[in-house]
């Protein structure tokens, strides 16, 4: 199987990638490669266990589509299923593939988005999602699939903590961002029962730009949590803390759930986390902005410290 999907909406492409990985095990994911880089990556495919990886994703290919047509037949010898996703509208470049009956080409557009929320809930979230909340989301659909993804991540966090109401959902819908953000990462990171944080990091922190945005969001959440813990230690009630922090009460309730989950030890852990992250930034300098490996190892180590394993 060789499928090509293209869209102006990165969120719709992200969903296709998610579904492909959910359907097929052992997936190799290649991003932002030109013709020569893709050819080299495919040549190196057999250096490992031939049976280990049988499926391939090519995301945002940057090379010549004429050269791609010559490379794909070799890829099909090694990979059973190939998914290619392209941001934008590269119709002209894909013309050469359209005559090939073995290649399926689809454009994801606004019509695709009509059933997107139902599909997202069915495949990724609880099938028992409250009907009244689902209706509310559909009445005011976020501007793009990326925003829908972000909204649903926040909704699930609130549902898990028993904090989701019609009023809170209305607030979320009215303040939806049009750009991707990483503010929902921290909830995954400190949840002992979840390992999705690692997949989240590997999938979305893929270049200097996303690494920069991720680092900013992580630092913001750390400082926000530190301010909350400082106020909570003074026996302030949650309503008062929300007022002092100038945030909604449900945001403070989520921060409080972190503290209840980990207890007093989180205060010391958080202080050390912030200090160590500062020195990590200082030592890494330019290399840190270009390589996520350093930060990935750091996050693994700090999480082990939090859970005491």
Helix axes 208-232, 196-204, angle to 10 degrees: 140
- What is the Cα–Cα distance from 116 to 100, expressed in whole angstroms? 28
DSSP 253: H
**Residue 69 pLDDT > 60:** yes
What pLDDT score was predicted for residue 92? 63
pLDDT confidence tier of residue 226, bands split at 50, 70 and 90: very high
309 falls in which pLDDT band (50, 70, 90)? low
**For 244-263, what is the mean pLDDT?**
83
Q: Each residue of 133-169: pLDDT tens digit?
A: 877 877 776 666 667 777 777 887 888 788 888 888 8
How far apart (Å, rounded) are the C-alpha atoms in residues 86 and 10? 9
**246: which residues sit within 8 A by CB, 6+ positions away?**
none
- Give the global pTM: 0.48
Residues 6 or more apart whose CB falls under 8 angstroms from that of 19 comprise 123
Q: What is the pLDDT of residue 291?
A: 62
What structural domains and CATH numbers belong to the chain?
2-113 (3.40.50.300), 130-174 (no CATH), 185-307 (1.20.272)
- Cα angle, residue 177 at apex, residues 175 and 179 outer, rounded to 5°: 175
pLDDT value of residue 83: 92
Beta bridge partners of 56: 28, 82
Least confident of 67-81, 108-122, 124-138, 219-233: 108-122
């Amino acid at each position: 199987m060789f499928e090509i999907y293209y869209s102006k909406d990165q969120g719709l492409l992200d969903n296709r990638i998610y579904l492909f990985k959910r359907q097929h095990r052992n997936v190799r994911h290649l991003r932002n490669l030109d013709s020569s880089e893709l050819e080299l990556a495919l040549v190196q495919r057999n250096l490992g266990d031939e049976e280990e990886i049988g499926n391939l994703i090519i995301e945002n290919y940057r090379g010549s589509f004429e050269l791609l047509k010559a490379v794909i037949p070799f890829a099909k010898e090694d990979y059973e299923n190939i998914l290619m996703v392209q941001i934008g509208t590269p119709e002209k470049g894909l013309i050469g593939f359209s005559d090939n009956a073995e290649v399926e080409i689809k454009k994801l557009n606004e019509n695709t988005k009509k059933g997107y929320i139902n599909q997202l809930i069915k495949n990724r979230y609880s099938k028992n999602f409250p009907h009244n909340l689902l209706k509310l989301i559909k009445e005011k659909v976020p501007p793009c699939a990326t925003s829908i993804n972000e909204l649903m991540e926040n909704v699930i966090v609130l549902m898990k903590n028993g904090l989701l109401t019609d009023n809170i959902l209305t607030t979320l819908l009215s303040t939806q961002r049009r750009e991707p953000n990483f503010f929902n990462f921290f909830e995954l990171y400190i949840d002992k029962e979840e390992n999705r944080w690692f997949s989240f990091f590997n999938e979305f922190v893929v270049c200097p730009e996303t690494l920069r945005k991720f680092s900013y969001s992580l630092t913001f959440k750390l400082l926000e949590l530190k301010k909350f813990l400082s106020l909570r230690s003074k026996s302030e009630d949650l309503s008062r803390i929300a007022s002092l922090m100038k945030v909604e009460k449900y945001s403070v309730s989520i921060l409080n759930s972190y503290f209840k989950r980990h207890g007093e030890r989180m205060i010391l852990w958080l202080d050390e986390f912030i200090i160590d992250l500062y020195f990590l930034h200082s030592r890494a300098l330019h290399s840190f902005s270009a390589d996520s490996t350093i930060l990935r190892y750091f996050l693994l180590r700090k999480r082990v410290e939090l859970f005491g394993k």
